């Protein structure tokens, strides 16, 4: 049953904010992309602007210095932000949609008071779930949190962790039991400052695309943390917290894919109307029009799924299956749209001189992180079968 209705920001205030924000994305962030591609980093002045604008605080409750957006508003914010290259979503969404969301949902009053204002102010966060031998398989998780006096000692390695090279705090999932317990009760969540002794961060991984977004290993060797670092003060809730955060994360990835897909379609349209062959724009050719039409239809379907899943989340529904389906469809659609954009460009689409080549590389990760398409299929099917069995 729905537990609460998330009202979010005043609708008129949100609409006015989004008008200004859309302009900022197109006239400030998009022009900065060339520099980011060359330097592989988001410029400090843009990060400062994003903090000043409150972009790290959009979902944080107003009492902790945020805007208090509901899920629908937050995901629309992500969709508009994602018209620009993906690094802008990456650097903000771990704070907003995952770490802050976990604190809001499961943190103690003291944890919220300490960390939510800091995350809202733009202290960069990381989300430590994936390991060298464990991603979606929590039973294979090796990172251990061993009790020591009133606290814990962390040992283990987290892999492919977005924002790790410059994060100030990480939400780390670790085993508090050596045995895999029912309902994943062997996993707990910990709030860990990244300057804690014993933490080292590996070299930033070189990636296929997504310039300006950085991932790296987080290595923990005898990292002593106090007992109040345990999120919510209760052991065994880490997997549940991670999955709830991943629902938000999957909607964010879906919105990221949809926002970027709109950019890709706009670029394909522009090239098709400017490029001439046989004495006329290639946009006049029906097979080019078919690729544009298929892309528009798929984007529309993705946007409808996103809107429906967000509405259900704000109504308090369990959206595990809907979030997985939305992420799966939207990310796959974005990949197909990027491929068509390259095809519309022809030989030029294979050249780094044109944006289509970057779009193709950037969009590939959407089908992998926050759960691969294949994991989404398993999540959806298992949920369907479980529901069917309960009704039999």
Going by C-alpha positions, the residue among 229, 224, 258, 391 that lies closest to residue 328 is 258
Is the distance from CB of 145 to CB of 177 less than 8 angstroms? no
Sign of CA dihedral 96, 6, 184, 383: negative
Cα–Cα distances in angstroms (integers) from residue 53 to residues 41, 90, 112, 125, 289, in the given order: 20, 17, 22, 18, 40
Residue where the block lists tokens 């880490």: 238
Going by C-alpha positions, the residue among 101, 122, 105, 104 that lies closest to residue 113 is 104
Catalytic-labelled residue, pool 303, 353, 370, 387: 370
Is the distance from CB of 115 to CB of 169 less than 8 angstroms? yes
Is the distance from CB of 127 to CB of 245 less than 8 angstroms? yes
Sign of CA dihedral 366, 318, 79, 134: negative
131 catalytic, yes or no?
A: no
Residues in CB range of 298: below 8 A, 6 or more apart: 261, 333, 336, 337
Find the radius of gyration of the CA atoms of the chain: 21
Is the distance from CB of 105 to CB of 244 less than 8 angstroms? yes
Residue numbers annotated as active site: 370
């Amino acid at each position: 049953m729905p537990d609460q209705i998330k009202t979010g920001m005043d609708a008129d205030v949100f609409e006015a904010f989004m008008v200004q924000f859309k302009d900022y994305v197109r006239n400030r962030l998009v022009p900065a992309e060339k520099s980011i591609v060359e330097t592989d980093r988001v410029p400090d002045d843009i990060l400062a602007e994003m903090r000043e604008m409150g972009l790290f605080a959009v979902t944080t409750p107003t009492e902790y210095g945020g805007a208090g957006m509901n899920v629908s508003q937050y995901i629309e914010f992500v969709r508009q932000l994602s018209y620009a290259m993906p690094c802008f979503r990456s650097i903000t969404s771990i704070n907003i949609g995952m770490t802050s969301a976990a604190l809001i949902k499961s943190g103690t009053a003291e944890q919220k008071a300490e960390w939510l204002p800091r995350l809202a102010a733009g202290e960069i966060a990381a989300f430590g779930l994936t390991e060298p031998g464990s991603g979606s398989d929590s039973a294979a998780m090796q990172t251990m949190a061993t009790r020591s006096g009133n606290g814990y000692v962390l040992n283990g390695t987290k892999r492919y962790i977005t924002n790790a090279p410059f994060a100030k705090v990480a939400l780390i999932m670790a085993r508090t039991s050596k045995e895999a317990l029912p309902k994943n009760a062997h996993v707990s969540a910990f709030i860990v400052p990244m300057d804690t002794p014993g933490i080292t961060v590996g070299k930033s991984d070189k990636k296929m695309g997504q310039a300006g977004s950085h991932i790296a290993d987080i290595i923990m060797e005898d990292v002593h943390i106090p007992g109040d670092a345990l999120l919510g003060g209760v052991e065994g809730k880490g997997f549940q917290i991670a999955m709830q955060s991943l629902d938000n994360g999957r909607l964010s990835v879906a919105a990221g894919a949809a926002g970027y897909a709109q950019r890709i379609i706009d670029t394909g349209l522009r090239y098709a109307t400017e490029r001439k062959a046989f004495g006329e724009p290639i946009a006049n050719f029906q097979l080019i029009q078919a690729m544009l039409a298929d892309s528009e239809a798929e984007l529309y379907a993705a946007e409808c799924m996103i809107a429906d899943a967000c509405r259900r989340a704000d109504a308090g529904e369990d959206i595990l299956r809907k979030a997985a389906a939305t992420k799966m469809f939207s990310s796959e659609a974005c990949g197909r749209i990027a491929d068509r954009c390259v095809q519309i460009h022809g030989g030029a689409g294979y050249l780094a001189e044109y944006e289509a080549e970057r779009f193709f590389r950037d969009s590939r990760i959407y089908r992998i992180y926050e759960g691969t398409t294949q994991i989404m299929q398993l999540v959806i099917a298992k949920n369907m079968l479980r529901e069917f069995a309960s009704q039999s």
